[in-house]
A and B are shown apart, each in its own frame.
Chain A
């Protein structure tokens, strides 16, 4: 029996388990690429518009940091600049989660032990998911390239751009193969790999911000070359393509796979190199209540969200200052922003209000995942043990709701404060702007209360469907917010989303009635959810 016996069969198992997740991504990547390319082609019809885009992309610090370098003023370069971050982050995260799901998570749940006891070679359990995920990235890259070409971009550049995105996925597949050997938990492996993605982003951003402008071309500084996210840019798709750069992810893959095999040989099944720290023998007094436990279980996630919201907020604030410059040069963009904000005069205010709305939508995801923990506790069995103590059901669920809403309040005000601070630092008067936007952020809270109410109602009334329906509803709100205006949907449909009713401060004056209405709806949903939770079987 070789170390790879059974790899083929295990790879088929991976494909069978992930056919929906990987399938959706394989389909979604080219569709998204096609749509983005189409809109760029429509938006920059002539040379002048493209030159003005290239000039902004090369001058603006924010554009360099988020969109990366460009190498000429061709349509393809603009498409890459606009689409690269979204597509590569998607590829990196899909690959990371897939590799962890079939390696460390299998060990954590004991599935790997069961598989390893069958006729399966030592390295087959790691090789099978790597083969599948690398294959999926190759396929996604190829499909993306064909989609760009189908949208009307040059074929060679299209394939290079597709390969660049697929290469980023392959690079993070390699990183995760090692991360999964180091930590004991799948959560830990995912966090480690996601942190690597974050560091890679910062390195690439730093390299491109520090890069030298040479005509219409940006020559990135050395930090970009340390980042797998930077490699994709350095392929220079739609410029003078450097195909050899596509070899870098492959080299990383080979090296990381060998390293992972080496680590796997040196450790026991289920163990990691970064072992679990020990905990206290006695609980601190602060832990000993439902709210104490809630804080303990959610504080890590809340801190992570806070850091992300603060960094993004400050960046968005800086970006808002550039809105004025962009508009001066590009009347089409001015029209677009005005449409998003509902035709107001001050475009910066409209932009800031739109950003706060986007933050509130994202923070809706925090509320949903925080509250759905109750469902996970119920399926896992720990909720039963808790409700067999002297903690009543209403008290338990109320604590969860209050915790999620307080977390959301912290995050929306932080989003406002950070955005205001960033804008103030660029445009002057940071203190006043931070306070002004912090307050505006807090006005989003009633919409988040409605989200919390909806999830609570689903938990109480249709527990088995609560997880899928909660996420479906939030995605529905996101689509209404993002596509509603573009698709020209009737106001009655847009009104279904609580986010529609939040006044777009600072673009318009705050008004009280919609906020009261949202709070009342949230109250009704919460009451229904608590009543249902009190009446139903646990577990059910």
Chain B
């Protein structure tokens, strides 16, 4: 049974379609990266999953329940860190953490203190005095000190420094080590690469790519740079080879993974002196979907999500 199963989700704000047939499947026990540019519908999807917004069409299941009708029962089993953390200005950070924990149904006091220590957060400061990063820490500590099955994190580290980012990654691994599921919406691709078992990339309210990182890489071309003793000929005609260019006396090309073998057999006849083969980075995978064309739609979805805020 998947922890989250979204099928063909549609959500409109007035005339604007923020979600346009979105699919998302998160298996129990995995860390799932949820990627997309600003305004592509990530936060709207998360709000539907939390039963805050009601979808117009499509099927949504969360922990085998209906996020709208079973909201209270489901919320006992999940913890949420919003992208833009707002707190009560005259409560202290410690009070806010305890309050969120209590409203969710309980807090592990030992974990709470440990997390405060690890994230280096002073719980006696009033919430109005915290910086953005520290408000985020309050939400993270309150969520991570709750012993639940699912953690929904909406860009949780956008205000954290690199040191805290490392602590955050440690703590997420600890959660999944205990069997929890994590949905992580993020712009920090290094964080996603380090933590996520599988990712879904969305654009303008639709899922454009979904799978494990190696699967996604498998679908994308590998960049090969080769230096041969004799002039290289005939590569451009090989199946699955693209963008052949000469660079600094070497040849750089892109090849589809299933044709790599045939390419190597061809190269070897020209006395290979050096060869570098690089699988695509997540950044390249990500940018591939957002370069250039079709920006009108993305802009429309952008304004939709703005209004949803």
Residues of chain B in range 51-101 having any CB-CB distance to chain A below 8 Å: 51-54, 71-73, 75-76, 78, 80, 82, 84-95, 97-100
Determine if A380 is an interface residue (Cβ-Cβ < 8 Å).
yes
Given known contacts A279-B125, A392-B71, A539 and B309 CB-to-CB distance under 8 angstroms: yes
Q: Find the residue from A185, A289, A535, A537 having the highest chain B CB count within 10 A.
A: A537
Given contacts A278-B92, A297-B88, A380-B86, contact A387 B52 (CB under 8 A): yes
Interface-facing stretch out of A130-138, A200-208, A280-288, A525-533 = A280-288
Residues of B within 8 A of A289 (CB): 102-103
Q: Do A389 and B103 touch across chains, with their CB atoms under 8 A apart?
A: yes
A288 near B75: Cβ-Cβ < 8 Å = no
- B280 interface residue, CB < 8 Å from A? no
Do residues B94 and A281 form an inter-chain contact, with CB atoms below 8 A?
Answer: yes
Query: Is A388's CB under 8 angstroms from B75's CB?
Result: yes
**Is the CB of B10 closer than 8 A to any CB of chain A?**
no
A-B contacts, 27 of them at CB < 8 A, read: A278-B92, A278-B125, A279-B91, A280-B92, A281-B92, A281-B94, A282-B98, A283-B95, A283-B98, A287-B95, A287-B98, A290-B103, A293-B99, A382-B86, A384-B52, A385-B82, A385-B85, A386-B103, A388-B50, A388-B80, A388-B82, A389-B100, A389-B104, A390-B75, A390-B103, A392-B71, A537-B52
Do residues A381 and B75 form an inter-chain contact, with CB atoms below 8 A?
no
Measured between beta carbons, the chain A residues less than 8 angstroms from B82 are 381, 384-385, 388
Question: Interface of A with B (CB < 8 Å)?
Answer: 184-185, 276-283, 287-290, 293, 296-297, 380-382, 384-393, 535, 537-539
CA distance A389 to B89 in the complex (A): 19
B297 lies within 8 A of chain A by Cβ: no
Interfacial chain B residues near A389, Cβ < 8 Å: 75, 80, 100, 103-105
Whether B86 lies near A381 (C-beta < 8 A) is yes
User: A390 to chain B: which residues have CB within 8 Å?
Assistant: 72-73, 75-76, 103-105
Chain B residues near A385 (CB, 8 Å)? Answer: 80, 82, 85-86, 100, 139
B123 at the interface (CB under 8 A from A): yes
Known: A385-B86, A389-B104. A280 touches B94 (CB 8 A): yes
Chain B residues, CB < 8 A from A539: 52, 308-309
Residues of chain A within 8 A of B93, CB atoms compared: 279
Select which of A276, A282, A535 is within 8 A of B129 by beta carbon. Answer: A276
Residues on the A chain within 8 Å of B308, using CB:
539
A280 touches B52 (CB 8 A): no
Bound-state Cα–Cα, A279 to B308, Å:
34
Q: Which residues of B contact A393 (CB under 8 A)?
A: 71
Q: Please, how many angstroms separate the alpha-carbon atoms of A538 and B52 in the complex?
A: 5
Q: Is B103 within 8 A of A279, CB to CB?
A: no
Does B218 sit within 8 A of A, measured CB to CB? no
Of A283, A293, A387, A389, the most chain B CB neighbours within 10 A belong to A389
Interfacial chain B residues near A296, Cβ < 8 Å = 91
- Known contacts A382-B86, A384-B47, A390-B76: does B98 contact A537 (CB below 8 Å)? no
Which of A293, A296, A385 gathers most chain B CB within 10 Å?
Answer: A385
Q: Mark B113-124, 1 if CB is under 8 A from A, else 0.
A: 000000000011
